[in-house]
Amino acid sequence: MILSVLLIFLLSSGEVRRHQNNPAHPRPNILYIMSDDHACQMISAYGSAISKLAPTPNIDRLAKAGMLFQSAFVENSLCTPSRACLLTGLYSHQNGQRQLNEGIDTAKIFFTELLQKVGYQTGVVGKWHLRCEPKGFDDYRILNDQGEYYNPSFKSKSSNGKYIEQNGYATSLITDYAIDFLENRKKDQPFCLLVHHKAPHRNWMPETKYLDLYEDIDFPKPETFYDTHGSQCSAAHTQAMTIGKDMEMVSDFKFSELADSTPYNKELTAGLIRNELNRMDLEERKAWENAFGPKNKKFLEKHLQGEALLNWKYQRYIKDYLRCVKSVDDGVGRLLDYLEKEGLSDNTIVVYTSDQGFYMGEHGGWFDKRFMYEESFRMPLIICYPKTILPGTVSHALVQNIDFAPTFLSLAGIAKPKEMTGRSLEALFAGKKPGQWRTSLYYHYYDYPAFHNVRRHDGVRTERYKLIHFYGKGGLAGATNPMQQKKESIEYRTLQQYARSGKMGDDPDIDCNELYDLQQDPHELTNVYGKAGYEKITAELQKILDKYRKDLKVDEY
């Protein structure tokens, strides 16, 4: 009897569930590949018209061998908060990283720390972008802040705290360092490697060999390119994230020849293009000038206006973005080839995802992320694990990036810490959604006032409906995050920089709701909040939202 009770206790504790250091059932390796701002609609496995013209065969290869998630979402659509959610399994207000630059509570447990305790060899390469040192990693090679595309600087455990410039293109170097970690790991230990690409983050600087890729293709615009936000709250009208008026000719559209002659926001973008170009060697610079010089000259001679100019901007944006994606896809292929060559594929769980989604012209010609609308709220997620997941499986279960940490712990046989909010995705790997799986998701965006001028909002999404609440004072009065008030903080300096940019609008205070029936209106064009016939579902969603706020102890600043 005592032995039986002890066995039940041990099994329920999770510490010895399946993957003790048992040669017959070894703990799985974990390879987590995350790009930056990679939209679902730019991955051909997700089937969009654009992605079919610019396929991603290696990411697709992963989807064919594993599970493609159709309903994967972020908790806060912004780079740094997303990374904090990954590492902690916590919502932004729980881990402290609400805004872009500062806030993560380093007292919170990173899942890699727990993996280390059971013998995992852990590493991270690429974009880190958190204002703390990597915690829970045996090895790392991380970019400086956002990092550069050409000959970027990396910091490692052996560089004495210094960022040292490396020769090469960021995406290729990150893949090189990932393979170097795998080559030099201790072969008798399981590994967990996080591969964090900079690409395809703004300002979309392609690898020189791909500078002319897709040049002969005219990419179609999304259906909602000309949306005018007629029924939406003021937040959709006061944003500063349109391709037509908010992208910069010099840095975004690659007109280095205009850097000293065309009015543009020098404080924000003057250094971007020139800093990248100045990092190039002579061969790279020549390739750049040969690619962009003739195209830029031709454009300037045409003096395009109106619709013709907008179309030109869209095409340049989409092509440079997809050229960056091409290098990411190459890197995924190299890593998958390495796993196969080394006989590691069967016992390695491979994840491909992005830190959030991205707008590729949807909702009135937008770029960037932040809003709770599907294109940035939804993220790509593909998981391959041959031991459990059948090839070509598709999941429609609602999942979120706070689920990654609990998933990796579960696979390693480690009990999830009580305070960790996310849940393991392992229950979905059989291809069916368990009866007790979540039926809604909570979202909260805080980064205002800030670049792109997206208002604070939170909301809930079910399988069919979405309720969004925009709130808060407008303009500088909306800077209610304590970090924005501390003069020594990066958030404060960023706020002042934004105020000087001239892009901060005279926004009104806002307390406004939007409701969407995603079955009838998948593009979220018609806000039906307050419309007749939606009273019951509105009340139900508001009840769900209020419960999240209460249970999660959300403090709305």
Q: How far apart are CA 552 and CA 165, in angstroms?
A: 43
Residue 197 belongs to what domain range? 27-205+315-431
Question: What separation in angstroms does the CA of 274 have from each of 74, 111, 532?
Answer: 33, 39, 55
pLDDT at 556: 72
pLDDT at 276: 85
Q: How far apart are CA 342 and CA 9, in angstroms?
A: 37
pLDDT at 6: 36
Quote the tokens at residue 388: 């459990």
DSSP assignment, residue 356?
A: S
The predicted-structure confidence for 339-388, as pLDDT tens digits, reads as follows 999 999 999 999 999 999 999 999 999 999 999 999 999 999 999 999 99
pLDDT at 499: 87
Q: What is the largest CA-CA distance in the chain?
A: 88
Q: How far apart are CA 462 and CA 482, in angstroms?
A: 32
The predicted-structure confidence for 17-37, as pLDDT tens digits, reads as follows 444 455 556 899 999 999 999
pTM of the model: 0.94
Whether pLDDT at 15 is above 70: no
Phi-psi map region of 16: left, alpha, beta (phi>0 left; psi -120 to 50 alpha): alpha
Give the strand pairing for 139-143 and 121-126: parallel
For range 542-555, the mean pLDDT = 96
Whether pLDDT at 540 is above 70: yes
The predicted-structure confidence for 239-258, as pLDDT tens digits, reads as follows 999 999 999 898 899 998 87
Whether pLDDT at 298 is above 60: yes
**What is the chain's Cα-based Rg?**
23
Q: Which helix (H) or strand (E) holds 393?
A: strand 393-395
- In our burial notation (b when 16+ CB lie closer than 10 A, e otherwise), range 62-91 reads bbebbbbbeebbbbbbbbbbbbbbbbbbbb
CB 60 within 8 A of CB 70: no
Q: Which residue has the tokens 């806000």?
A: 527
Q: How far apart are CA 80 and CA 201, in angstroms?
A: 13
Whether pLDDT at 1 is above 80: no
CB 75 within 8 A of CB 91: yes
Q: Which helix (H) or strand (E) holds 156?
A: strand 153-156
The predicted-structure confidence for 257-279, as pLDDT tens digits, reads as follows 877 765 555 545 556 777 788 89
The predicted-structure confidence for 65-93, as pLDDT tens digits, reads as follows 999 999 999 999 999 999 999 999 999 99
In a domain, 177, yes or no: yes
305: which residues sit within 8 A by CB, 6+ positions away? none
In a domain, 9, yes or no: no
DSSP 67-134: EEESSEE-SS-SHHHHHHHHHHS--HHHHS--SSSS---TTSPPHHHHHHHTT-EEEEEE----SS--
- Other Cβ atoms less than 10 A from the Cβ of 290: the count is 12
Sign of the four-CA dihedral 201, 380, 377, 130 = negative
Give the strand pairing for 164-165 and 191-196: unpaired
In a domain, 390, yes or no: yes
CB 41 within 8 A of CB 50: yes
Q: Which of 27-36, 286-295, 322-331, 481-490 has the lowest mean pLDDT?
A: 481-490
Nearest Cα residue to 366 out of 268, 249, 246, 264: 246
In a domain, 14, yes or no: no
pLDDT at 3: 36
Q: How far apart are CA 320 and CA 247, in angstroms?
A: 13
Per this entry, what is the length of the chain?
557
The predicted-structure confidence for 92-139, as pLDDT tens digits, reads as follows 999 999 999 999 999 999 999 999 999 999 999 999 999 999 999 999
Q: For the chain, give the mean pLDDT.
A: 92
The predicted-structure confidence for 152-195, as pLDDT tens digits, reads as follows 999 999 999 999 999 999 999 999 999 999 999 999 999 999 99
Whether pLDDT at 63 is above 50: yes
As a whole number of Å, the end-to-end CA separation of the chain is: 54
CB 420 within 8 A of CB 88: yes
For range 41-60, the mean pLDDT = 96
Q: Which helix (H) or strand (E) holds 155?
A: strand 153-156
CB 422 within 8 A of CB 89: yes
DSSP assignment, residue 163?
A: -
383: which residues sit within 8 A by CB, 6+ positions away? 66, 67, 69, 349, 350, 351, 352, 389, 425, 429
More confident residue, 262 or 488: 488
Please state, for a pLDDT cut of 70, what percent of the chain lies above it.
93
Q: How far apart are CA 242 and CA 452, in angstroms?
A: 9
User: Sheet holding 164-165: strands in order across?
Assistant: 164-165, 153-156, 139-143, 121-126, 191-196, 29-35, 348-354, 381-384, 67-69, 393-395
Please state, for a pLDDT cut of 90, what percent of the chain lies above it.
86
Number of domains in the chain: 1
In a domain, 344, yes or no: yes
Whether pLDDT at 5 is above 60: no
Give the pLDDT band of residue 12 (cuts 50, 70, 90): very low
DSSP 178-244: HHHHHHHS-TTS-EEEEEE--TT-TT----GGGTTTTTT--PPPPTTTT---TTS-THHHH---BHH
In a domain, 329, yes or no: yes
CA 491 to chain centre: 20
pLDDT at 25: 65
Nearest Cα residue to 351 out of 320, 373, 323, 381: 381
In a domain, 384, yes or no: yes
pLDDT at 551: 97
- Other Cβ atoms less than 10 A from the Cβ of 523: the count is 16
Q: How far apart are CA 390 and CA 67, in angstroms?
A: 7
Give the three-class secondary structure for 495.
helix
CATH number at residue 416: 3.40.720.10
Sign of the four-CA dihedral 512, 518, 520, 521 = positive
In a domain, 476, yes or no: no
Give the strand pairing for 510-517 and 139-143: unpaired
- In our burial notation (b when 16+ CB lie closer than 10 A, e otherwise), range 538-556 reads beebeebbeebbeeeebee
